[in-house]
Amino acid sequence: MSLAALKAHADRLGGASLRDIVDGRGPALSDWVFSAAGIELDLTKQRLDADALASLLEAADSLELAHHRDTLLSGGVVNPTEGRPALHMAYREGAKISGTDAADLVARTQAQTREFAQAVRSGTYQPSGKAITRVVNIGIGGSDLGPRLIADALAEFADGGPEMRFVASLDPSDLRLAVDGADPETLLFIVASKSFSTQETLMGAEAARAWLSAHVPADRLGGHFAAASAAPQKAAAFGIPAERVFDFPDWVGGRYSVWSAVGLSLEIGLGPDVFAAFRAGAQQMDQHFASAPLAENLPVLKGLIDAWNRVALGYPSRCVAAYSARLGKLADYLQQLEMESLGKSVTLDGAPAPTAGGALVWGGAGTEIQHSFFQWLHQGKDIVPVDFIGVKRHFASADARERALAANMAAQGAALLDGRQLSEADEGELASHKSMPGGRPSAMLLLDDLNPQTLGALIALHEHKVFVEGVVYGINPYDQWGVELGKVLTAGILKGETKEYDASTKALLDRTGFGGW
């Protein structure tokens, strides 16, 4: 992105009162609120005006954003370091994709997972003569965060399916808690790993198999496992029959994989119809992203605004405040989606990136977070844009608690915007302690209601806005080489190959008596 014009706008607006900017929108205030696929994006409290937004859209045109978007949606290579397309959208309900092989694989896999999910849910699948009552997903990163978020968010829509539990940590207590109180003969473990070699997932699967072997005869063990993987041979070697290894192709990134066979635990626990509605909502946002003008396009606008806050205004982080208990894990999910995608410092051609990459993303669920880090947001030295995510229905709910939840969300946005200035005449020597500077920008994402369709649309919106930011920064949002180094060093430590390690790390291993394997 050429920064000259944007920096000029940032300098012009940086010292202005945010309240004056917002009030100055006048009758045009409604022009800063955009809607699609059951989601409303309110940008009225952002630190930019019509001229700055016009410059952002001009920058998008100069970067050929529409062309890059079309390349993504048509199955072109958008991950050049690995020579791959990003075809996670092919799994959305009703998606139209190019490439017969991809289309056939998606159709085949979806038919297979639906059939298996229905067999488990109906009780006809009985590996040890009993119906499955609990499904345990073993995975990490996108193979865990996505299913875990969706399971929580859509729990109210589950229709009599097995209970869902999740294992991600190497800490043995994670598995113990997941199987606690269960009849081993009614458990199904789903191993979600593209390579079927991810350390945390493979060790978790091995521990689950060892635990189960104490309760289930050896010839039945395999029946209690299924997998989502691109390595069926490794899954077979583990003991999972081929008919229960569902394709997880290499053109689906882990953090974009919840739509694929990685969502099998959801298809079983929530039901195939709920999972299909979730994917259909995402497809609605895909269609909006593909066809809406850039100036009215929710993912485009959100990506450009986040890039503006990061690059032009220099805000290093963004807070996600979800005002719904069911979205309690949304910040964790978006943290991985955005930071693993945009945490890069080189451009597509390997040159140093001329701008900062994506922001640090963090947050939690309101109103609990108002009693933890909101103090820092209001009176800390750093300015952090906040994304408020809520449910529009709550504002007019008959339930006083839902109305109070909505009121709290609206009040926090107003407080961050306006702050409070108190005079010493009124407050004495405590005036400065009780004052808040305000001027903190925020955006609001309102779902018409929280249901499978709007949740799917919300996640797809963020997937696409990450792509938009990747274009702005000139980086590849679909690789994650930074994850690999730690894996290599871990393997060296476990093998005792630490000769080249730094003195501090070697001293730590000596002091703690670490013995490797």
pLDDT in tens, 216-234: 999 999 999 999 999 999 9
What count of other Cβ atoms lies within 10 Å of the Cβ of residue 475?
Answer: 22
Strand partners, 321: 364, 388
CA distance 471 to 354: 13
For residue 289, is pLDDT > 70?
yes
pLDDT band at 407 (very low <50, low <70, confident <90, very high): very high
How many residues make up the chain in this entry? 517
For residue 195, is pLDDT > 50?
yes
pLDDT band at 426 (very low <50, low <70, confident <90, very high): confident
Question: Which residues are annotated as catalytic?
Answer: 340, 371, 487
CA distance 19 to 401: 29
SS3 138: strand
pLDDT band at 1 (very low <50, low <70, confident <90, very high): very low
CA distance 145 to 76: 27
Please report the pLDDT score of residue 102 as a whole number: 86
Tokens of 45: 């409290």
Q: What is the pLDDT of residues 80-95, one digit of tens each?
A: 999 999 999 999 977 7
The H-or-E segment that residue 279 falls in is helix 272-291
DSSP per residue over 314-379, as a string? ---EEEEEE-SGGGTTHHHHHHHHHHHHH---B-TTSSBPSS--PPEEEEEETTGGGGTTHHHHHH
Please report the pLDDT score of residue 377 as a whole number: 98
Contacts of 278 (CB under 8 A, 6+ apart): 150, 154, 266, 452, 453, 455, 456
- Per-residue pLDDT, averaged over 245-253, amounts to 94
pLDDT band at 500 (very low <50, low <70, confident <90, very high): confident
- Per-residue pLDDT, averaged over 148-173, amounts to 97
CA distance 136 to 191: 9
Tokens of 17: 């009162």
Residue for token pair 């903190």: 440
Better-scored residue on pLDDT, 100 or 368: 368
Please report the pLDDT score of residue 93 as a whole number: 74
Tokens of 132: 């499955």
Phi, psi of 425 (to 5 degrees): -65, -35
User: Domains in the chain, ordered, with CATH?
Assistant: 4-12+34-62+292-419+435-473 (3.40.50.10490), 88-277 (3.40.50.10490), 487-517 (no CATH)
DSSP per residue over 221-268, as a string? HGGGEEEEES-HHHHHHHT--GGGEEE--TTS-GGGGGGTGGGHHHHH
CA distance 5 to 372: 38
Please report the pLDDT score of residue 517 as a whole number: 58
For residue 42, is pLDDT > 90?
yes
- Per-residue pLDDT, averaged over 123-151, amounts to 98
Please report the pLDDT score of residue 424 as a whole number: 61
For residue 423, is pLDDT > 80?
no
Tell me what the pLDDT averaged over the chain comes to.
Answer: 95
CA distance 368 to 310: 27
Residue for token pair 């792509």: 467
- One-letter amino acid of 213: S
pLDDT band at 97 (very low <50, low <70, confident <90, very high): low
User: What is the sign of the dihedral through the CA atoms of 158, 164, 169 and 174?
Assistant: positive
Q: What is the pLDDT of residues 296-305, one digit of tens each?
A: 999 999 999 9
8, exposed or middle or buried, with CB in 10 Å at 0-12, 13-18, 19+?
A: middle
